[in-house]
Structure 1
Amino acid sequence: MLVSIWLLGREIGTETAVLIAVVMIALIFDYTNGFHDAANAIATSVSTRALTPRVALIMAALMNLLGALLGTEVAKTVSEVITPPTGLHGLTVVGAGVLGAITWNLITWYYGLPSSSSHALIGGAVGAGLASASTVNWDKVVDKVAIPMVVSPLVGFAAAYLVMVAILWIFRKSHPGRMSRRFRIAQSLSAASMALGHGLQDAQKTMGIIVLALLTTGHHAEGDGVPLWVVLVCAGALSAGTYAGGWRIMRTLGRKVIELDPPKGFAAELTASGVLYSTAFIWQAPISTTHTITSAIMGVGATKRLSAVRWGVARGIVMAWVFTIPMAGLMAAIAYGVVHFFGA
C-alpha cells in the first residue's frame, strides 16, 4: 500500500499527493489509537457495571472529541522529536514512522495487550529518523518521553494507592452495598474525566505528526501552532476509533489485572485523569494513557493486598511497554527501507 501511494505521488510529479497520503496514514493511526485505547477510559466503569458498554463508548467518543480541542502543547512536543529532510524524502520518513506505529498497535490489539499508542508513535518516528539519517532530537526524547514514561506509571500507582486508602478510611463506617451504589454513579463522572484526558493527550500526538509533515513541505511555518483543520480532523478520527471499541484490551484492563468494584474503579480513573491533565498542561509531555490507567488499577488493587494484583498479567503488560518503542521503531525502519528501495 505504502509503495503504491509513493509511486503514484512520483508519477503525478508533485509533493501534494504524497502529503495527502501521509495525512491519511496519520489519521488511520489516530483511528487505530481510538479503538486501541478506548479501553483506557471505560474498561473500569464497564467491568464494575457503572456503565453499559455501548453507553460507555458513546460517552468516551464524545469526551475524546472535546478533550482533543482543549490544547496543542503536546502536539508541539511530538512535532519536534525528529527533524526530517524537506520535500518528498521527509514525507517518506514521517509516513514510515506512522506505519511502524500502526503495525505495532494492530499486533498488540490482536493479542489484547494494552501497550502505548503514544510510545508506538514516538518509537516509529525515531526509528524512521535513524534509518534515514535524519536528526533525532534526543534531548526532547529523553526529557519529554523517556523520563515521563518511567515516572508517570510510578506516580499513578502511588497516587491511586493513596486515594484508595483515603476512600477506605473516609467510608469505613458506610454500608458496603450503599457505598458501592454511590460510587457507581460517581464512576460515570470519573470515566468521563478519564476520556477527556485521553482526548487531550492522544489526539494531539497525531496533530504533531501532521504538522511535521506540513513543515517538511513548506505548507506550514514553524511556530505558527496547529492549524484548526488539523485539530478537527484528528479529534474526529480519534472519536470514531473510540466508538468502534476495543473489547480485547477492555477485558484485560477491566477483569484480568484485578477484580474491580466501583470505589476502586473511581479511584483509578480519578488518579489517572489527574496525571494526564498535569502532564499535558504543565509539562507538555506525551505520556501514555495506557500506562497511567494500568498502573493506577494496580495501585488500587494493592490496597487490598499485593497478591490481589495478578502480577503474571501485569508482567505481560510491562513487557509490552518495554518493547513498544524499539519494536515500533524497527517496523518503521523496515517501512522506510522498503519505500526508499523503490526510489521514494
Structure 2
Amino acid sequence: MSHALALEGLSKRYGSFTAVERVSLDVEQGAFLTLLGPSGSGKTTILMCIAGFVEPSEGAIRLDGRDITPLPPERRDFGMVFQGYALFPHMTVAENVAFPLRVRKMGAAAREAKVRGALDLVQLSAFGDRLPRQLSGGQQQRVALARALVFDPALLLLDEPLSALDKKLRAELQDELKALHRRVGRTFVNVTHDQEEALSLSDRVAILNHGKLIQQGAPAELYERPATRFVADFLGKSNFLQGVVREHLPEGFAIGAGATRVVQRGGVVPALGAPVLLSLRPEKMSLLAEGEAAENVVGGTIASWSYLGAGYALNVETPDFGMLRVTLPTWNAPIAPREGLAVRLGWSASASVPVLDDPA
C-alpha cells in the first residue's frame, strides 16, 4: 500500500542560517515527487527531515494525516537509497538485501522469499552470491534499491541515487527506476540537481532555491509555464525578453523594447506602460527564410554556434534583446551556420510566457 505525505510549514535553521524556510508540500499516494534545486537550495535537508535524520525547527511532517515529526527514523518505516549506495562490502548481495529483514527479526524462510522477490524486481536474481565489489555501479545501485524496498516501506526516499553513474548508464537507470516505480506502486520522494532526470522520472517536481519552495507542478507544466525567471532558467534553457506594455490586443498584449515590437498571447494582461519579462525557449524559435513571415520577427547576427549532433545551438546577437539562443534540428536546418551571418528569428505569439523577475 502506498502512502500520502504532507509537509506543513517545514523550516530548519542552523543558528542564524536558514536551510529550509516554511516549505509546504502534499505528495499524493503512489506519486513520484522530485525535489529539484541547485546546491544549497535545501532539498537534501528536506529529505533528511522526512527520513527523521534531521529534526525540523518548525512545522510538521504527516503520513496519511498522522503527525510523524516526533518519530525516530527506525519507527517511520521508510526505505532510503543513498548517493553512494551504502552497501556492506563484506556481505553478499543477498545478505545486503536481507539486512533490513534481519533487523526486523523476520524468520529465515520468509526472509529468503522476500529477498528473492526483491532481487527479481531489480533483475538481479542471479547475483545473490556476489559481493558488492564484483558488481558494476549500476548493479550496486539496483542492490541498494532492492534493499530499500524488501521490507515494503511506506515511502521510498532517494538521495541523488544516480549521480555517481556515467551519463549513458544514468539514462538507462532512469528508465528502470521509472518502470520500478510503476511496478511497486509506492510513493517515491527523490532529490536531484539534474533537470533532465527530474523531468524524466517525476509525476511532480518541487523547485527550491535558498531554502524556499519556488514552484511545484507536473514536469510539463513547470517547463511550459514557469512562474519566475529562476524556474525558467533552471529548468532547461530560456531567453528573456524585457520590455514595456505598449498595446492591449484581443488575445493578449504587445511589448516594446527599443524599435522592436513583440506580441504575447496568453497570460495576465498587464497595465499599459508596465514592465514585462517574457521567457522564450530556444527550441520554440526558428530561422526564417527570405520573405517568410511570423507573428514575431527579430533580426540579428550569429555570434557563435555549436554542433550538437541532433541539432545546432546558435547564439544570435540582436539590437534590442541582446544575445538570444536558438536551437535547430540538424536534419532540416535552413542554413549552414557561420559566425557573422545575418539571420531573422521568428516565433509564435503563444511560444513565450510572462514570468516574474527574481528579486535583486
TM bucket, shorter chain: under 0.3
Bigger strand fraction: 2
Work out which of the two has the higher radius of gyration on C-alpha atoms and give 1 or 2.
2
Bigger helix fraction: 1
TM-score of the superposed pair, with normalisation by structure 1? 0.22
TM-score of the superposed pair, with normalisation by structure 2? 0.21
